[in-house]
Amino acid sequence: MPSTAVKILLVEDSPTDADLLRESLRQIDAAHFAITWAERLEDALQLLGRESFDALLLDLSLPDSTGADTFRQARRAAPHLPIVLLTGEDDERIGLEAIRHGIQDYLVKGHADGQQIARAIRYAIERKQMELELARERAFLETAIEVLPLPLAFFDQRGKIIRENHASQVLRRQLGVTEQAKADFLDPQTKTPIPEDRQPALRSLQGEIVTAEEYLLQAPADDYQMPALVSAAPICLDGETLAAVSLIEDITALKEADRAKDEFLAVLSHEMQSPLVSILGWSREALDDGSAEFMAQAMAVVQRNAVRQKRLIDDILDMSRLIHRKIQLKTMPADLWEQACQAVENIRYEAENRNITLVQTPPDTALPIDADPERLQQCIGNLLHNSLKFTPAGGTITVSCRGGEEQGILSVRDTGRGIDPAALPGLFVVFRQVDRDERAGGLGLGLAVSRGIIELHGGRISADSPGLGMGSTFTIALPLACAVSA
């Protein structure tokens, strides 16, 4: 028997009919079939559990099963196996029903010769392979649609949703959209409603492809408006539009980021210009006056403003390096409390000039860490400068360290203006400065830079405040060197 023989399981209770079928196939020289015969459905199901076959020839009238139940049991036992039913003339109606339920073909016994039987088997195998390929492709497509994070919906010719993914269901719940209450499409500039026939889904049903058009989606029950990019396209077959598909992207976060960036650029322009104006003004006055006393005063102002501008530029560059992952830490053994004490000394002169008291509370034990001292000093310094900005004269800044759960914990607590608890989640976000005070200045990048650097060390940074006017506490937690070694 050739290795390419088609393995057939023949389920037929009549030995005579089984022999006739085998003989019909043997008479065809081009066909190579290996036939296994079973008289009962129970025997066939056991064979299907033990062996693999290329096709199943199944009689509908068996001693232990008849009619539609026969092919249903066979399909459950071998869902991927092509099945050709063998029916009597009285069973032809059941054969047609079986085709509608996924059986590949049926033959009326006594009305098919060897060529027709062989052709039915080959066509059944090919059709089953095509069905399986289509089923796999459909499964891939359905999974891709379902896990797509963007809302995707399909519409019929009346504009009614006939299918949607999970993200689309979530969006409809978010907007409060139902069959009776639909979201309005508004022009993002004028905020006026878009006529229904000019909305993306209905336009696509007329054959138009809509690509990333911006709208405001107005919730039907309240004033909530969601900025969105909407795309839509017709689904066509043989030149006929059957349905439409629509994709919606919520761009609320993008709009907020753009707005924050615009605000940041406006602040950047102001903050970069302020020290330059001061430097130019004092330089001009110094050249005009020329006295040693005035020159010394002018140089002090120029130096102070140059340092301020350098700090601004350093923050911008560090934020860029963090975003592009270009900061390389030069770690070495260090002690967290020693690093904190050095950072305190760096701001002591400024604190004294502002009449702010610095309090240091050391830990009970050493807190060895692996860190980049320069970068860690920068982070602690950012927290201390932040406290100096928002703590009035007569206030106190307390720096403390302690150990806990294989971590070294550093805290900077001040008696300054405090932070609205609702604003705490955005405190370390790039391009955002919470409760900015014009007198304090700055770009609001220092805390974002500090978070990025601390996270590069494997640590975390957080902030807490009981509320406005009640002070703030910033905390850095870093893994202890002994914990990392363990």
Reduced 3-state DSSP string for 74-139 = HHHHCCCCCEEEEECHHHHHHHHHHHHCCCCEEEECCCCCHHHHHHHHHHHHHHHHHHHHHHHHHH
**Torsion, CA 332, CA 336, CA 342, CA 345, rounded to 10:** 170
Whole-model pTM?
0.56
The Cα 133–Cα 80 span in angstroms is 11
pLDDT at 485: 46
DSSP 356: -
Segment (H or E) for 205: helix 200-205
8 Å CB contact between 244 and 155: yes
Residue 372: helix, strand or coil by DSSP? Answer: coil
Q: Where does 292-394 have alpha helices with state H?
A: 292-323, 336-353, 373-390
- Nearest CA-CA partner of 48 in 104, 123, 57, 67: 57
Ordered mean pLDDT values, 10 residues apiece, the chain (486 residues): 75 90 76 86 92 91 88 88 82 74 82 85 89 90 91 90 92 84 88 91 92 92 89 91 93 86 76 81 82 84 82 80 83 94 91 94 94 92 91 95 90 93 82 50 74 93 92 95 58
- Indicate if the alpha-carbon torsion angle 29, 30, 33, 39 is positive or negative: negative
pLDDT at 439: 42
**Thinking of the domain 6-144, which architecture would CATH place it in?**
3-Layer(aba) Sandwich (3.40)
Helix 373-390 crosses helix 336-353 at what angle (to 10 degrees)? 40
Residue range(s) of every CATH 1.10.287.130 domain in the chain: 255-323
- Nearest CA-CA partner of 115 in 230, 30, 207: 30
Other CB atoms within 10 A of residue 478 CB:
26
pLDDT at 1: 43
Residue type, 206: Q
Residue range(s) of every CATH 3.30.565.10 domain in the chain: 332-485
- Nearest CA-CA partner of 458 in 386, 382, 337, 375: 375
Residue range(s) of every CATH 3.40.50.2300 domain in the chain: 6-144
Other CB atoms within 10 A of residue 420 CB:
11
8 Å CB contact between 380 and 340: yes
E-strand stretches of 148-207: 152-155, 161-164, 184-186
pLDDT at 3: 53
CATH fold of 332-485 reads: Heat Shock Protein 90 (3.30.565)
Q: Which residue has the tokens 């004092």?
A: 282
Cα 332 vs. chain centroid, distance in angstroms? 36
Tokens of 134: 């289509």
Q: Which residue has the tokens 């761009």?
A: 251
The Cα 471–Cα 467 span in angstroms is 7
HSE-up of residue 320 (Cα within 13 Å, Cβ side): 6
8 Å CB contact between 234 and 211: no
Q: Top-level CATH class of 255-323?
A: mainly alpha
pLDDT at 354: 92
402: alpha, beta or left, given left = phi > 0 and alpha = psi -120 to 50? beta
The Cα 368–Cα 476 span in angstroms is 14
Just give the CATH number of 152-250: 3.30.450.20
pLDDT at 351: 92
Tokens of 342: 């050095």
Residue range(s) of every CATH 3.30.450.20 domain in the chain: 152-250
Tokens of 297: 């005063």
Cα 417 vs. chain centroid, distance in angstroms? 37
8 Å CB contact between 404 and 224: no
Q: How far is CA 233 from CA 199, 212, 430, in A?
A: 12, 11, 37
Cα 269 vs. chain centroid, distance in angstroms? 34
Other CB atoms within 10 A of residue 218 CB:
18
8 Å CB contact between 182 and 221: no
